[in-house]
Amino acid sequence: MSEPGDSPKPGRRFRPVDRAEGSLEEQSGPDYATPHTDEDRTTKHLDDIARFGRSAARVVARGKGRFLDPEDDEQRRIARSILVDLASATNRLSDGFKATYPQIDWRGIYAVRVYITHDYDATNDQVVWWSISESLPEMLGILGLEDQSRHENLRSPDGSKPAKGVSQRSWVR
- At 166 the three-state DSSP class reads coil
Domain spans of the chain, in order of start: 1-33, 38-154
- At 147 the three-state DSSP class reads coil
Q: How far apart are CA 39 and CA 94, in angstroms?
A: 10
Q: Indicate the pTM of the whole model.
A: 0.67
Query: How many angstroms separate the first and last alpha carbons of the chain?
Result: 45
| pLDDT tens, per residue, the chain with 173 residues | 445 555 444 444 444 444 444 444 444 444 445 657 878 889 999 999 999 999 999 999 999 999 999 999 999 999 999 999 999 999 999 999 999 999 999 999 999 888 898 876 788 899 999 999 999 999 999 999 975 434 444 434 444 444 333 344 556 65
Taking each helix axis from N to C end, the angle separating 38-61 and 74-91, rounded to the nearest 10 degrees, works out to: 160
Q: How far apart are CA 143 and CA 9, in angstroms?
A: 40
